[in-house]
Amino acid sequence: MRVIIIEDEAKTAKELKGMLQELDSEIRVEVILPSVSSAITWLNGNPAPDLIFSDIQLGDGLSFEIFRGVQIDAPVIFCTAFDEYAIRAFESNSIDYLLKPVEEDMLQKSLEKYIRLKEHLINGAQYTNNLNKVLVQMDTSYKQNILVHYREKIIPMRVTEIQFIYASEGVVYLYDNHEKSYPVQYTIEQLEIMLNPQQFFRANRQYIVNRDAVQNIEHYFNRKLYVSTKIATPEKIIISKIKAQPFLKWIEQ
């Protein structure tokens, strides 16, 4: 998740960044912007982030000026010490409104709300594009076999045999029912798209796990989850706080 923070108080921005990365290590804060003018300049010169956290009262004006000056579709979560701007906030792509000092529990709920809503944030010209994507996905079958390299051979492995997928130091491995690992010439992001999400879950940046491989789930430090699989994994599979509820819901499906 690519995030930017618009905040003129350096200490507050640093604390928010720390809380976000504690909630989910896969959140990448690309930049902290301290003013209306710097935010407009950055947003005009860079790809839109997935999510924006923004204070409202900045040193050179209200952050609403940013969203009037830049055409951007990224959702916004406003963080401010004042609540009189709530209505205007929701007119500026806002999906939530947090009062300072921001508490971690409320921040987590806002991120969970973003995850629930992100597939439904459709407006104007985006509608046709998103509809076309859905139609393409409906017409696309997921992989049944994936080619793996074993010694001097290239072997088609049945997807049903994959226990989990593990990425390490730029190489991606498939682990089968017999605890053997095979390197593949795909990134973990490519494999995530190829595999049926009803059967495979992207646990974190290193792992995709097969539902049938899950042996048990334990509560882990700081409300994360530790997932044990039927065969040993090179490293622990840890589910972040943000993904914990979606993962448990997926397991129950």
Residue 221 pLDDT grade (very low, low, confident, very high; cuts 50, 70, 90):
confident
Structure tokens at 49: 């982030």
As given in the structure block, the two tokens for residue 96 are 């939530």
CB neighbour class for 176 (10 Å; exposed up to 12, middle 13-18, buried from 19): middle
Q: What is the pLDDT of residue 24?
A: 86
pLDDT, position 125: 43
Q: Classify 145-252 by CATH class.
A: mainly beta
What is the predicted pLDDT for the residue at 122? 47
Q: Which residue ranges make up each domain of the chain?
A: 2-123, 145-252
At residue 86 the predicted structure's pLDDT band, cuts being 50, 70 and 90, is low
Residue whose structure tokens are 């050179």: 60
- Higher confidence at residue 223 or residue 162? 162
Q: Please determine, for residue 92, whether its predicted confidence score (pLDDT) is greater than 90.
A: no
Per-residue pLDDT, 204: 92
The total number of residues written for the chain in this structure = 253
Which H, E and C letters describe the chain, residue by residue? CEEEEECCCHHHHHHHHHHHHHHCCCCEEEEEECCHHHHHHHHHHCCCCCEEEECCEECCEECHHHHHHCCCCCCEEEEECCCCCHHHHHCCCEEEEEECCCCHHHHHHHHHHHHHHHHHCCCCCHHHHHHHHHHHHHCCCCCCEEEEEECCEEEEEEHHHEEEEEEECCEEEEEECCCCEEEECCCHHHHHHHCCCCCEEECCCCEEEEHHHEEEEEEEHHHEEEEEECCCCCCCEEECHHHHHHHHHHHHC
Which pTM value belongs to this model?
0.58
pLDDT per position as a tens digit, 105-153: 888 888 888 877 765 554 444 544 554 554 444 444 678 899 888 888 8
Q: How confident is the model at residue 95 (pLDDT cuts 50, 70, 90)?
A: confident
CATH no., domain 2-123? 3.40.50.2300
**What's the pLDDT band for 88 if we cut at 50, 70, 90?**
low
Residue 245: which residues within 8 A CB-CB, separation 6 or more? 112
